[in-house]
Chain A
Amino acid sequence: MNIDDDDFTLFGLPERFTLDAAKLDQRWRELQTEVHPDRFAAQGAASQRIAAQWSMRVNQAYQRLKDPLKRAAYLCERRGTPVGAERNTTMPREFLMQQMEWREALDEAADGAAVQALQAQVAAREQALLGRLQVLLDQDRDAPAAAEQLRSLMFVVRFRQDVEQRLDALES
């Protein structure tokens, strides 16, 4: 076991998109129980530094595996297709039209109920895209197609966060 091992190896999980979230959480706690600097509090500065490095590495891997978008991007990158979301923004016209519709719906939403309805719609769409992403990565093993799918998903998630922010503002 090495600090430079990939995230899946570090966590002893199969390298695929489908993930047992409970197992991931459990392994994260087990790993931190081994490497957290507090475990070495009375053992000198050198142990502290190394424990901190390990602990950060474990947290980094955990954050990346836990989040479906980050996990997918990591898999695409490992399979030779970096997602490069900030540079490659060509999206299908149909998708862009829907994004615009959603944005308008959010701007025009008069009350919490309207925003919540939109939130449900966006969440359903997000789930559908995640399902297809899983097929592309785990069954078809088509990284370029998965990367494209992931770029769409990133827009949807960004929008969902905007919707949630609006809900926050309405409630407080």
Chain B
Amino acid sequence: MALLQISEPGQASDPHQRRIAVGIDLGTTHSLVAAVRHGVPECLPDLQGRVLLPSVVRYLDGQRRQVGHEARAHQAEDAANTIASAKRLMGRRLADLKGAAQLPYDFVDQSGMVAVRTRQGLKTAVEVSAEILATLRQRAEDSFDDELFGAVITVPAYFDDAQRQATKDAAQLAGLEVLRLINEPTAAAVAYGLDHGSEGLYAVYDLGGGTFDVSLLRLSQGVFEVVATGGDAALGGDDFDHLLAAWALQRSGRQAVSAQDKGALQMAARRTREALTDHAHATLHCPLDGGDMRIDVSREQLETLTQPLLERTLAALRKVLRDARVQRGDVLGVVMVGGATRMPAVRRAVGEFFGEQGHVRVLTDVNPDEVVALGAAIQANALAGNAKDGQLLLLDVIPLSLGIETMGGLVERIIERNTTIPVAKAQEFTTYQDGQTAMAIHVVQGERELVADCRSLARFELRGIPPMAAGVARIRVSFQVDADGLLSVSALETGSGVQASVVVKPSYGLGDDQVAQMLRDGFSHAQDDMRLRALREARVDADRLLLATQSALDADGELLADAERASIGALMQQLRELSSAQDHDAINAAAEALAKGTEEFAAARMNRGIRQALAGRSIEDV
């Protein structure tokens, strides 16, 4: 069967050549985009040659915005409309935010996620993050002068389901195809692992602007297995700055009340902290309403002041080692990630923590600001099918246990933390009252025994249970966590053979309607006509699917009977014909039909793959 290529003017005829995949580190203080070029991962610079994009968005009059350096330059003077560190707000409600009062924003508590009131109306962290992602997407498309195939976006290992979902929503808003969400420490390990060709147990100490993550990974035969992960979702370099800022105010007897003052002080504190990395003394200089504030700080003073924060990171490190049931001496190296790990006190403390018992290498030779994006780029390249060796595989875990609420507000855990994903697990529950026909299911995430102490992810009801005596009905609740770490839950009444099920998305995630609405509401990079955009996306997807199907047929076509092969061929032909027409719904329907029509073929190929894998091994073992 001949494969007919359909190419539009200006497009390469071989879709393989269009597979540009990037890694994006969406950080609290700054964000980066990287890609593998000529086999080497590299961060992509902007037109001025700068790699770091400050994660700051300023909303101006009209529909204008500034993103990055420009926004940050006006942060102090227009603090209330200039949103920085939005990552800390992702998937959070107002009640979740510690130190919200110190921030120069007018917060509005919304159902789902907190928003900030700006001169352009309410903005959530998802929208702010989408601006940043869209800017990076543009940068990458300009660099390659082509559209992106997709992106791997990194999230802190400690991000819960709501925060991951929010990140994915932001990417969708920015028009990015998410190939995978991966954990930042894992990405860093990939960047190092491939460079060093190492095998064994490694720790990643990732102190970012707003989050602290620690992960233990085992590297073996090209497989990066996350053994355990932990950290502190509310601890980062910003906290060091907050402490320094508060100390400076107290020392000088001054106050920072206005949004401008708070913003200026926070920035001055960061500059001072960074200066103390290379110098023993620095001056914190900050313009405040009542006149400039100047105060001398020594590195020693900063270290004494922030010692408790450092101690918290070490406690998290100890806990992760315990969770993984390994000793400090088992760890071969520690990868340092995040700009805040440049602080001499941090490197010293981590070195001493491991140094007592072994010869652990503290790895700092890859730029700690870039290492996460570089690792994400490597993974993106592999997922796009560009990697030649193809032997890189990440096996990640869920960071926090998942469960449901049972009688008395207690949590029944269904999937324990540090379980490798993807994972599915089901548990049976029963009714509490005679004749009960509905059951409320409340999905939570966290390690505590009481529902009130865990994060509520979703609530739904299973209705239509046939009336039975209490304890007779069998409700099977199934949890499924995909390779991005995202959860879906379903419930099914099995006792009587009557079935009812529902699949939930976490309540923090935006529905597709909401995303579409936000796109319509004048998102800056969505000025294209929605219909044209949908058509283009449908065509790209159709192209991908046709290509994948063709390569599957080429490789394993003999698994199919002639009739099956003919029917797949007909479905492919139909899709090809429709994809040159203008109706994106018809293209999507034909693509869905082809996907369905090849499901059994795909299953047969998978089965054969496994059989071959096992057969190859048992010969080895004999």
Using a CB–CB cutoff of 8 Å, the interface residues on chain A facing chain B are: 1-3, 12, 27, 29-39, 41-47, 49-52, 54-56, 59-60, 62-63, 164, 167-168, 171-172
Contacts of A38 in B (CB 8 A): 180, 382-383, 393-394, 483
Determine which of B180, B602, B621 lies in contact with A46 in the assembled complex, contact meaning CB atoms within 8 Å.
Answer: B602
**A59 pairs with B422, CB closer than 8 A:** yes
Tell me the bound Cα distance from A50 to B424 in angstroms.
13
Contacts of B123 in A (CB 8 A): none
Least CB separation from A54: chain B residue = B606
**A44 pairs with B611, CB closer than 8 A:** no
Contacts of A47 in B (CB 8 A): 548, 552, 602, 605-606
Which of B395, B422, B551, B621 is most buried by chain A, counting CB atoms within 10 A of its CB?
B422
Q: Work out how many contacts link A and B, with CB atoms closer than 8 A.
A: 121
**A42 pairs with B19, CB closer than 8 A:** yes
Tell me the bound Cα distance from A46 to B598 in angstroms.
7
If A1-B611, A1-B614, A2-B607 touch, whether A42 touches B393 (CB-CB below 8 Å) is: no
How distant is B334 from chain A, measured CB to nearest CB, in Å? Answer: 20
Contacts of A3 in B (CB 8 A): 607
Contacts of A1 in B (CB 8 A): 607, 610-611, 614
Which of B395, B425, B596 is most buried by chain A, counting CB atoms within 10 A of its CB?
B395
**B617 pairs with A50, CB closer than 8 A:** no
Least CB separation from A3: chain B residue = B607
B221 at the interface (CB under 8 A from A): yes
A-B contact pairs, 12 of them (CB 8 A): A12-B617, A32-B395, A38-B383, A41-B180, A41-B385, A44-B545, A45-B545, A52-B483, A55-B483, A56-B424, A63-B420, A164-B322
Least CB separation from B546: chain A residue = A44
What 6 additional pairs, Cβ within 8 angstroms, besides A37-B482, A50-B599? A30-B613, A32-B393, A38-B382, A59-B419, A63-B419, A168-B319
Tell me the bound Cα distance from A162 to B622 in angstroms.
44
Least CB separation from B483: chain A residue = A37
Least CB separation from A55: chain B residue = B422
B281 at the interface (CB under 8 A from A): no
**A32 pairs with B424, CB closer than 8 A:** no
Tell me the bound Cα distance from A27 to B618 in angstroms.
11
Chain B 410-444 near chain A by CB (<8 Å), digits 1 or 0? 00000000011111110000000000000000000
Contacts of A44 in B (CB 8 A): 544-545, 548-549, 595, 598, 602
B570 at the interface (CB under 8 A from A): no
Contacts of B19 in A (CB 8 A): 42
How distant is B114 from chain A, measured CB to nearest CB, in Å? Answer: 29
**B609 pairs with A35, CB closer than 8 A:** yes
**B383 pairs with A12, CB closer than 8 A:** no
Least CB separation from B615: chain A residue = A1
Contacts of A56 in B (CB 8 A): 422-424, 480
Least CB separation from A172: chain B residue = B315
B179 at the interface (CB under 8 A from A): yes
B603 at the interface (CB under 8 A from A): yes
**B602 pairs with A50, CB closer than 8 A:** yes
Least CB separation from B549: chain A residue = A44
Contacts of B480 in A (CB 8 A): 56
